[in-house]
Amino acid sequence: MIKRLGSFTLTVVLLSALVVNANAQNKTENLILITLDGARLQEIFGGLDVEVLKGLTEEGTIEETPLYKKYWADTAEKRREKLMPFFWGVLMKQHGSIAGNRRLGSTVELTNKHWFSYPGYSEILTGQAHDEIIKSNDKIRNPNTTVLEFLKRKLRLDVRQVAAFASWDVIDWVVEHEVGAITSNAGFEAYQHPDAAIDELSKLQFETATPWDNVRHDIYTFRFAMAHLKTYQPRVLYIALGETDDWAHNGRYDRVLQVLERTDAYLRQLWEFLQSQEQYKNRTTILITVDHGRGSTAPQWKTHGKKIAEAKYTWLAVVSPDSQRRGEWVNTETIFANQIAATLCRFLKIDYSENNANAGKPIAQLFKDN
């Protein structure tokens, strides 16, 4: 018995040596980047924010409000898991990690000084702030080649294998420097697909107006992205969800929370699909982040921009077969949004500095054990 136990232990040791060895190789073959426009640290890390709720409750106590009844719990961990059960209960526990919880000594910051959307997306997608050139949300063509375009060239992919789907129409102008380089579908824009049900959804988007002329409901963005993923198997996919920002600008905290809860269900659907596919299972790195933060106090939660000091703080989650980190980052060096492009490339063993020598460097902590 003792002898058998001994050989069993030896087998286990050998097996784990093999696992360590396998980890030295990069498993990533596909990348998925997801952004949740202006989604605050407070909700991501702490769920329902009672300070915001207090500011919005004009009559009665906050305890009587539907939001409190639905989302309140006595710790940040429980509240955020009520809001995003899949993200916190499964994804961050078993498969990935998240940086940016400043209470734990982890900070993610923008390097651009504008702290609104176009400069944020451009920093993420090009690896550098260009504050003098990119200083509005106007529809101007990105003056720099993006990481999406660079990867298409390096991996010799066709136009369908690098795709971006966005709720906000301006993202169409951010994701590519060269028009038509990648598949881009953004804002209220028809999406043609062989599946009749997707075609129907494409028509419906125009009949389900939002309060904003240039931001469609995230469900369309997500469903088109999923249809594209299933039919064309892209190697690089970018999904840019937008409603979290716009409902906040409108002061609709209830909708912000609903959208985060819905986004959590999208992440579950996406994850389950990836796990069911040979091409994607254990070969896909997912990076989830945000273009800017927003205010932390009761009136300022709605807004962002350079007058709101807290808006420079963001967060970043990574799920990858090539990163062993799990859960929240604790007491780590500050990381910056300009490192994201190079980090994505690093997962594919591609050196992003070839595209932009001034871009932020890959986030080293992701490739260490903890």
**Site residues (CB under 5 A) for Zn ion?**
38, 245
Instruction: Name the strand (E) or helix (H) holding 241.
Output: strand 236-241
**CB-nearer residue toward Zn ion: 305 or 327:** 305
Minimum Å gap between C-beta 263 and Zn ion is 16
**230 Rama sector, left if φ>0, alpha if ψ -120 to 50, beta otherwise:** alpha
**CB-nearer residue toward Zn ion: 41 or 163:** 41
Helix (H, G, I), strand (E, B) or coil at 140: coil
Minimum Å gap between C-beta 26 and Zn ion is 35
Minimum Å gap between C-beta 191 and Zn ion is 24
Helix (H, G, I), strand (E, B) or coil at 213: coil
**CB-nearer residue toward Zn ion: 244 or 320:** 244
**CB-nearer residue toward Zn ion: 121 or 266:** 121
Minimum Å gap between C-beta 37 and Zn ion is 7
**CB-nearer residue toward Zn ion: 112 or 332:** 112
Half-sphere exposure of 247 (CA within 13 A, CB side): 19
- Checking DSSP bridges between strand 316-319 and strand 284-289, what pairing results, if any? antiparallel
**Which among 88, 128, 16, 154 is positioned nearest to 319, based on CA atoms?**
88
Lookup: tokens for 193: 């697909």
CB contact at 8 A, 83 and 71? yes
Minimum Å gap between C-beta 204 and Zn ion is 25
Helix (H, G, I), strand (E, B) or coil at 246: helix
Q: Token pair 């460097």 is at which residue? A: 361
**CB-nearer residue toward Zn ion: 245 or 328:** 245
**CB-nearer residue toward Zn ion: 38 or 96:** 38
Amino acid at 22: A
Residue 32: beta bridge partners? 237, 286
Residue nearest to Zn ion (CB): 245
Minimum Å gap between C-beta 22 and Zn ion is 43
Residue 111: count other Cβ atoms within 10 Å of its Cβ: 16
| Alpha helix (H) residue ranges in the chain | 2-24, 41-46, 50-56, 66-71, 76-83, 85-86, 117-126, 147-154, 171-174, 196-204, 218-232, 243-249, 253-275, 340-347
Lookup: tokens for 196: 């009749």
Minimum Å gap between C-beta 17 and Zn ion is 50
Minimum Å gap between C-beta 242 and Zn ion is 9
Minimum Å gap between C-beta 117 and Zn ion is 6
What gap in Å lies between CA 192 and CA 199, rounded to an integer?
Answer: 6
